Chains A and B, each alone.
Chain A
Amino acid sequence: MSEAQEPTVPPVRFDDPADVPEVRWRVTAAMFYGNKAAVLGIAVLAAILLVGLFGPLLLQADPFAIVGAPLTAPGELRPLGTDYLGRDVLAGMIHGTRPTLIVALSATAFTVVIGLSVGAVAGFYGGRIDNLLMRITEFFQVLPPLVFAMVIVAIMGAHFMTVIIAIGVTTWTNLARLTRAEFLKIKEREFVLADRAIGVRDSRLILRVLLPNALPPLIIAVTLQTGLTIIYEAALSFLGLTDPDIMTWGKMIGLSRDFFFDAWWSVTFPGLAILLTTLCIALIGDGLNDAFNPRLRGR
């Protein structure tokens, strides 16, 4: 092989303007922004992100500091009350925003990398490679995710990196299956065959041809996965399987577990923070779904 140059793809002509990718994406975006619930989700989520970014600067309290009598009910001085050690619940929630989101987003990123790689390779190459990768996927599906993640964190030690690894290792299977199914659907289409025929490299085919065309369902799935990861991380934190040095919403609930009959506020408010965040993500996911599949609206 002496050719050093990547073969150039001739420009494609579209008969229907709605088939031009740029137009399609613009229509999708317009539909998404026309969805009030989804836009509300984006706005509230942005507010939560701002709290995560700037909250600790505005409220320079130590979330671990004891500031008052234990189990003080919400009142003027402590709007959301104090927990069993006299720590401020509001301060904990504000300072807990950033770690909660960082761990959840990194874990989702890890899940996406594993899921997309496995699914893309299995769907693209097919045959024995596909068979092997799907067997591995089935193997991981036999292990209940939370139980597996608990064992991983318990054995590797509670550190935020091990939490991220544990979540990634136990949640990638759905994304892998979805990516594989999409790749199988697309890889026999004419434009892919044409690219193959002119000798486009495999890696370029996967990343520049197949992946962009498989994006719509994957974007929806990744959005929803982010919400699930937030809940998943909260569950691990709740069980005490979390970095001892960081405060997260799930950990606040877990720490107050034995006292929640005496202080409903110490578990209710951090839980509402989780619920609000995941609810926004769900609304965004629904909006994306409607925007990408206008014909399936309401299903």
Chain B
Amino acid sequence: MSTAIVQRIVYGLLLLIAVITLNFLLIQLAPGDVVDVLLTEAGGGDPAVAAQIRAAYGLDQPVYVQLLTYLAKMLTGDLGYSYYFDEPVLSLLLDALPATVMLVLSALLLAMVIGTLLGVIAALRPQGLSSHIVTVLSLLGYATPVFWLGMMVLLLFSQYLPWFPAFGMRTIPMPETPLARALDVLHHMVLPTFTLSILYLASYSRLSRASMLDVLGSDYIRTARSKGLAEYVVIFKHALKNAALPIVTIAGLQVGSVFSGAVLVETVFSLPGVGPLLYESILRRDYPVMLGVLFGAAVTTVVANIITDLVYRVLDPRIRGIS
């Protein structure tokens, strides 16, 4: 089992090296280079100075040398420097990522728990009301643009019914006790989490419904029932345990997509995550920050995939021995 995990991690690192290489190629694609930006901001400069700066930055080296230098820098955590924010990209990312990861995780968890429950209830009555709710939800979940849903939620629950704050993650000035501060953050996160999770809730409910219908038809469920086990034990202990496997797989695969959704939701709700950071950096043509965010997003997905793999191994003893 441990060799399989090591393999998985090594593979993840290789993927990240590929992402860094892609970032490098994207920089090459961009019109102009750092020196052009610097000189434009300084109001122009003569070619000799430009050449001097290029040499100082190593931009006169052959492309492959530049790529190796870039790889070495990125892998040691030096993600470059932001022209606009006047701060290292790494510290900008470390400031912004926790809020995003928190949003992604809480939305995914909420969607998984409620979606799975809804799916289980629907599977018990395939033609009942809950099944219709699942169908309608999955239609709407597929068809609704998340950023628009966020605005509608704000209009309804922040303007028309002033129950939740509209912007940011904290009240300023901050409440004094740590408990009040935590509750304050929670209060701010309700609407964004709800908005982001409702789209995925639909796909989980549909998936868990189909998965449960499959499992409920199998022989061991009939055996469990015939030995007189309580219905809830059969459903939650015997059936759901097996039906949960595809749900875990999908959750792992969806992290990238949820991350994309989080970028939009953060922009709508003005949360201090990577969404607004990316948006700002695009407006300012701040390439190191943009590419830093892309790299940070890739790291998040790779880590999430490895964790999903581990969870899957714990849940499914059949694949534990296989690398």
Give chain A's interface residues, CB within 8 Å of chain B: 138-139, 141-148, 150-152, 154-157, 224, 227-228, 231, 234-235, 238-241, 250, 253, 257, 260-261, 264, 267-268, 271, 274-275, 278-279, 281-283, 286, 298-299
Contact B298 A143 (CB under 8 A): yes
Nearest-Cβ distance from residue B22 to partner chain A, whole angstroms = 8
Q: Say which residue of B143, B213, B256 sits within 8 Å of A278 (CB atoms).
A: B143
Check: B263 CB closer than 8 A to any chain A CB.
Answer: yes
Contact A146 B145 (CB under 8 A): no
* Bound-state Cα–Cα, A227 to B253, Å: 20
Query: Which residues on the B side are within 8 Å of A241 (C-beta)?
Result: 282
Check: B260 CB closer than 8 A to any chain A CB.
Answer: yes
Q: Chain B's interface: helix, strand, loop or mixed, by majority?
A: helix
Contact B148 A224 (CB under 8 A): no
* Bound-state Cα–Cα, A147 to B256, Å: 9
* Bound-state Cα–Cα, A240 to B279, Å: 9
Contact A147 B15 (CB under 8 A): no
Contact A147 B159 (CB under 8 A): no
Query: Which residues on the A side are within 8 Å of B19 (C-beta)?
Result: 139, 142-143
From A145, A151, A152, A231, name the one whose CB has the most chain B CB atoms within 10 angstroms: A151
Residue of A nearest to B139 (CB): A282
Residue of B nearest to A278 (CB): B143
Check: B147 CB closer than 8 A to any chain A CB.
Answer: yes
* Bound-state Cα–Cα, A270 to B220, Å: 52
Query: Which residues on the B side are within 8 Å of A147 (C-beta)?
Result: 259-260, 263, 278, 293-294, 297
* Bound-state Cα–Cα, A111 to B209, Å: 30
Q: Say which residue of B15, B30, B131 sits within 8 Å of A142 (CB atoms).
A: B15
Query: Which residues on the B side are within 8 Å of A231 (C-beta)?
Result: 143-145
Residue of A nearest to B285 (CB): A154
Check: B29 CB closer than 8 A to any chain A CB.
Answer: yes
Q: Say which residue of A145, A150, A152 sits within 8 Å of B256 (CB atoms).
A: A145
Contact B263 A275 (CB under 8 A): no
Query: Which residues on the A side are within 8 Å of B298 (C-beta)?
Result: 142-144
Contact A144 B259 (CB under 8 A): yes
Check: B18 CB closer than 8 A to any chain A CB.
Answer: yes
Contact A299 B142 (CB under 8 A): no
Contact A260 B155 (CB under 8 A): yes
Query: Which residues on the A side are within 8 Å of B302 (C-beta)?
Result: 142
Contact A239 B155 (CB under 8 A): no
Contact A275 B155 (CB under 8 A): no
Query: Which residues on the A side are within 8 Å of B261 (C-beta)?
Result: 146
Contact A282 B142 (CB under 8 A): yes
Query: Which residues on the B side are within 8 Å of A138 (C-beta)?
Result: 15
From A147, A157, A257, A275, name the one whose CB has the most chain B CB atoms within 10 angstroms: A147
The 6 closest A-B pairs by CB, nearest first: A146-B260, A271-B148, A278-B143, A144-B259, A279-B143, A154-B282
Nearest-Cβ distance from residue B183 to partner chain A, whole angstroms = 25
Contact B297 A156 (CB under 8 A): no
Contact B257 A155 (CB under 8 A): no
Check: B197 CB closer than 8 A to any chain A CB.
Answer: no
Give chain B's interface residues, CB within 8 Å of chain A: 15, 18-19, 22, 26, 29-31, 126-127, 131, 139-140, 142-148, 151-152, 154-155, 159, 166, 209-210, 213, 253, 256-257, 259-261, 263-264, 267-268, 278-279, 282-283, 285, 287, 290-291, 293-294, 297-298, 301-302, 305
* Bound-state Cα–Cα, A143 to B26, Å: 14
Query: Which residues on the A side are within 8 Å of B152 (C-beta)?
Result: 268, 271
Contact A151 B291 (CB under 8 A): yes
Query: Which residues on the A side are within 8 Å of B297 (C-beta)?
Result: 143-144, 147
Contact B210 A145 (CB under 8 A): no
Contact B151 A224 (CB under 8 A): no
Q: Say which residue of B126, B256, B279 sits within 8 Å of A239 (CB atoms).
A: B279
Nearest-Cβ distance from residue B120 to partner chain A, whole angstroms = 15
| 16 A–B contacts, CB within 8 A, in A order | A139-B18, A142-B15, A142-B302, A143-B22, A143-B301, A144-B257, A144-B263, A144-B298, A147-B263, A147-B297, A150-B278, A152-B26, A227-B143, A239-B267, A240-B282, A278-B144
Nearest-Cβ distance from residue A103 to partner chain B, whole angstroms = 15
Contact B159 A282 (CB under 8 A): no
Nearest-Cβ distance from residue B213 to partner chain A, whole angstroms = 7
Q: Say which residue of A141, A152, A228, A267 sits within 8 Å of B148 (CB atoms).
A: A267
Contact B145 A144 (CB under 8 A): no
Query: Which residues on the B side are within 8 Å of A239 (C-beta)?
Result: 264, 267, 279, 282
Query: Which residues on the A side are within 8 Å of B151 (C-beta)?
Result: 253, 257, 260, 267-268, 271
* Bound-state Cα–Cα, A286 to B31, Å: 45
Query: Which residues on the B side are within 8 Å of A261 (C-beta)?
Result: 154-155, 159, 166
* Bound-state Cα–Cα, A138 to B263, Å: 22
Residue of B nearest to A268 (CB): B152
Query: Which residues on the A side are within 8 Å of B140 (C-beta)?
Result: 279
Contact A274 B291 (CB under 8 A): no
* Bound-state Cα–Cα, A286 to B136, Å: 12
Contact B143 A282 (CB under 8 A): yes
Q: A147-B278, A231-B145 in contact; A154/B290 too (CB < 8 A)? A: yes
Contact A299 B263 (CB under 8 A): no
* Bound-state Cα–Cα, A156 to B30, Å: 7
Nearest-Cβ distance from residue A225 to partner chain B, whole angstroms = 11
Q: A142-B301, A145-B257, A275-B148 in contact; A264/B155 too (CB < 8 A)? A: yes
Nearest-Cβ distance from residue B244 to partner chain A, whole angstroms = 18
Nearest-Cβ distance from residue A107 to partner chain B, whole angstroms = 15
Query: Which residues on the A side are within 8 Å of B31 (C-beta)?
Result: 157
* Bound-state Cα–Cα, A250 to B291, Å: 25
